[in-house]
Amino acid sequence: MSGQGWGGENVAGRYRVAVVGAGSRAANHIACYEEIPEARVVAVADRTGRRSPTVAAQYGLRAYQDVREMLERERPHLVHVVTGPQGRVDLMEQVAAAGVPLCTVEKPVAVGVQDYNRLRVLLGSTSTRFAVAHQFSWHPTYVRLHQAILAGEVGAARWLDMSAGMSVTGQGTHILHYGMEWNGGSPVSRVFGAASGWDGADADHPGPQATEAELEFSNGARGMWVTGAAAPRVGRWPTVWQHVRVALYGQRGYAGWEEFGDAELSGEHQSLRSAFGGMETWRGQNLKAQAGFHRAMLHWLDNPREPPSTALEASLHEWKVVLALYESALTRRIVEVTAFEPEPDLVMKLMAALTP
């Protein structure tokens, strides 16, 4: 096992887990460990100290206000950073400085150019393995569709359709990740996009209220990536966040998945129809997806050459695509992603252009 000071106490397969942040996301992460007997959550911290005692009492954990103190005392194998996006990079750097072997973070992994650049430096300098919680890569129905795509049931990707009801900084990297995953992990090579409106700096996820972009992938496939007010509404749910959709049109068939709607597969050899079964079904499936993600992280601990698909390097590419969209919206030009280096004031320029 990697990580000095972590291996000796783990002979019984008991991985120690700590959580930073004590909101609803923290509860989702903690609850899924009921399905992972080889691991246990031992502590929770939040920097205000207001919420962690309640969460700790609910789940039988130790509560902290000082994150460094928690890392020093608990020596976790895995830390979940489930705070809001602003200030998240500071916490990731603290986790790396403490030498924690594994760390997961919520999405998006960054909020601007400075975060992106700091994380590129961190990726190249730390032994901590980071991944982003795109948990639906382990959703049972999503997995069924992904396996069929990998088996060639629908043929090579020609067009991808990705949309989310929340903004590009809310669910935008979520759906981009799923589209790229279905497209064999092929990176985005070109972006041509537009943006409108702006949610202010005091918003949880500051960024454009609506975006649309046509993408070209390095394997030649193309796609449409739509977020926020511009996104189509699918399923039966009017609530804006209850809309995450990815679809792939291949040479021989189609695959489509909605978080709160239907799933469909029509390929050369088989077909599948699956309807959303209500919120209780969603909660159960989401719990399984979270547990699958965390198992993949623990597997990575002992198998360093087998990272989950949501590892930091891939997530930084996804955020670079967001920044390329910003650049395209601002300059009204196609952006070549590989050669693109975002200017430090890119986000401020776009905010100024989109604010009345």
For residue 334, the model assigns a pLDDT of: 98
**DSSP sequence for 333-349:** S-EETTT----TTHHHH
**DSSP sequence for 63-101:** EES-HHHHHHHH--SEEEE-S-STTHHHHHHHHHHTT-S
Whole-number CA gyration radius for the chain: 20
For residue 230, the model assigns a pLDDT of: 83
The strand pair at 129-132 and 222-228 is best described as: unpaired
For residue 235, the model assigns a pLDDT of: 63
| E-only strand ranges, 197-334 | 210-217, 222-228, 244-250, 254-258, 263-266, 271-274
Model pLDDT for residues 134-152, shown as the tens digit of each residue: 999 999 999 999 999 999 9
For residue 201, the model assigns a pLDDT of: 57
Model pLDDT for residues 186-221, shown as the tens digit of each residue: 999 999 999 999 987 556 788 999 999 999 999 999
Q: Which domains does the chain have, with CATH numbers?
A: 8-132+289-310 (3.40.50.720), 136-276+320-330 (3.30.360.10)
Separation between Cα atoms, residue 355 and residue 254, nearest integer Å: 39
For residue 119, the model assigns a pLDDT of: 97
**Tens of pLDDT, residue by residue, the chain (356 residues):** 333 344 444 434 489 999 999 988 888 889 999 899 999 999 999 988 888 999 999 999 999 999 999 999 999 999 999 998 878 999 999 999 999 999 999 999 998 999 999 999 999 999 999 999 999 999 999 999 999 999 999 999 999 999 999 999 999 999 999 999 999 999 999 999 999 999 875 567 889 999 999 999 999 999 999 999 888 877 666 666 668 899 999 999 999 999 888 899 998 877 788 877 777 888 888 899 999 999 999 999 989 999 999 999 999 999 999 999 999 999 999 999 999 999 999 999 999 999 98
Given the structure tokens 């009801």, which residue do they identify?
Answer: 165
Q: Write down how long the chain is.
A: 356
Separation between Cα atoms, residue 311 and residue 56, nearest integer Å: 28
Report the b/e string of 52-74 with b at 16+ CB within 10 A: bbebbeebebebbeebeebbeeb
Retrieve residue 247's tokens.
């679809």
In the chain, pLDDT over 90 holds for what percent of residues? Answer: 74
